């Protein structure tokens, strides 16, 4: 079988390369606690984008870290037994929350659905900026030269927590039956949400992004989605004098270090020929998950649609229906 990474038996033993900040746990506990100081200013505006008879659709807005107004699509069954299970959906890098009709399969099974627009990307959520240093196109590098609390993905991860909490607090939702799913960046946000909001019951990431940055660098795969890492070093640290410091800072937003906090049951999909999110980086997170977990391997696939995986995830999340 062709390989772009470690052989599969070694992947199951791989423990990651990126350095972990010494205050990682305190950093994230402080960050989550700070959400309590922010009024979410939840707003729900009914819309009728597709004329679906079985769903009520809403534009959902809330205030996230730094005062950003963050958007999500929210759908609930028109005729529903309450409380309902719910699914949180997260999209890929630079994308958006997708079309309304794509959520209707879950709604038809009695689920509420909330699909986040990541701030500053392809959707409607606001990026308030406000960091020192460059903002050179990339979200991974946003805040690297400022205080570590200014890392943009810190706020994005907190947006997933805020959305989960808001959905769990809705009277029509059973807070004990909430799941999450997404691919690539959406897979990373699925892991982050499950780690930082431990009430999430089931989580189904597909080839998660934002894991083990140093491994990406050492594999010479700092391109495509990770290309901003290479560009940052070329422009701002061409001799790599700060390499240890930079990768340690990136460790604050590395999902492999959040993974041990996850209590949700995990179903993960991984493609062994993925040059965008290398398999070893995904296993760096997967191998640290201590809750019940399963990984589905696609040996001949890359960063692309994995046949049958979303059907499998649908069945997995349907466990919360009853």
Does residue 1 belong to any structural domain of this protein? Answer: no
Token pair of 99 as six digits: 């079309």
**Residue 20: which domain range?**
8-317
Does residue 31 belong to any structural domain of this protein? Answer: yes
Mean pLDDT of 137-145: 91
Q: Is the link from the previous residue into 83 a cis peptide, with omega within 30 of 0?
A: yes
pLDDT of residue 2: 59
Q: What is the CATH number of the domain that holds 195?
A: 3.40.50.1820
Residue 322 has pLDDT above 80, yes or no: no
Mean pLDDT of 293-319: 98
Does residue 3 belong to any structural domain of this protein? Answer: no
Task: Report d(CA 306, CA 243) in Å as an integer.
Answer: 35
Q: Which bin fits 66, alpha (ψ -120 to 50), beta or left (φ > 0)? A: left
> Residue 197 has what DSSP assignment?
S
Query: What's this model's pTM, rounded to 2 decimal places?
Result: 0.97
Going by pLDDT thresholds of 50, 70 and 90, the confidence category of residue 283 is very high
User: Mean of the per-residue pLDDT values for the chain?
Assistant: 96
Does residue 168 belong to any structural domain of this protein? Answer: yes
Does residue 2 belong to any structural domain of this protein? Answer: no
178-192 pLDDT tens trace: 999 999 999 999 999
230-255 in b/e form (b: 16+ CB < 10 A) is ebbbeeeeeeeeeeeebbbbbbbbbb
Residue 100 has pLDDT above 70, yes or no: yes
Does residue 208 belong to any structural domain of this protein? Answer: yes
Mean pLDDT of 286-307: 98
Does residue 163 belong to any structural domain of this protein? Answer: yes
Which residues are catalytically annotated?
A: 184, 274, 303
Q: Quick one: which of 288, 289, 287, 296 has its CA closest to 316?
A: 296
Q: Give how many domains the chain has, as a whole number.
A: 1
Quote the percentage of the chain above a pLDDT of 90.
93
Does residue 214 belong to any structural domain of this protein? Answer: yes
């Amino acid at each position: 079988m062709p390989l772009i990474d470690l052989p599969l038996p070694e992947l199951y033993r791989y423990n990651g390369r990126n350095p972990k900040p010494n205050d990682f746990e305190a950093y994230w506990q402080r960050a989550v606690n700070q959400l309590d100081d922010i009024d979410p200013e939840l707003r729900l505006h009914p819309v009728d984008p597709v004329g679906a008879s079985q769903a009520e659709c809403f534009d959902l807005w809330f205030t996230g870290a730094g005062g950003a107004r963050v958007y999500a699509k929210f759908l609930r069954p028109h005729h529903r037994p309450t409380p309902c299970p719910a699914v949180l959906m997260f999209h890929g890098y630079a994308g958006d929350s997708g079309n309304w009709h794509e959520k209707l399969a879950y709604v038809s099974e009695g689920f509420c659905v909330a699909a986040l627009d990541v701030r500053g990307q392809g959707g409607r959520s606001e990026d308030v900026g406000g960091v020192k240093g460059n903002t050179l196109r990339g979200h991974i590098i946003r805040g690297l030269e400022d205080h570590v609390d200014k890392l943009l993905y810190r706020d994005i991860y907190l947006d997933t927590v805020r959305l989960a909490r808001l959905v769990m607090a809705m009277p029509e939702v059973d807070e004990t039956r909430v799941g999450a799913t997404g691919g690539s960046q959406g897979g990373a946000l699925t892991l982050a949400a499950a780690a930082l909001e431990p009430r999430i019951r089931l989580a189904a990431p597909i080839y998660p992004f934002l894991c083990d940055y140093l491994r990406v660098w050492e594999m010479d795969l700092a391109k495509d989605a990770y290309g901003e890492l290479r560009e940052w070093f070329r422009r701002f640290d061409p001799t790599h004098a700060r390499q240890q410091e930079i990768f340690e800072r990136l460790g604050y937003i590395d999902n492999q270090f959040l993974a041990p906090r996850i209590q949700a049951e995990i179903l993960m999909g991984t493609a062994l020929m993925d040059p965008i999110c290398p398999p070893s980086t995904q296993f760096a997170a997967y191998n640290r998950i201590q809750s019940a977990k399963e990984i589905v391997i696609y040996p001949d696939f890359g960063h692309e649609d994995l046949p049958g995986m979303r059907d499998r995830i649908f069945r997995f999340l349907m466990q919360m229906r009853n």
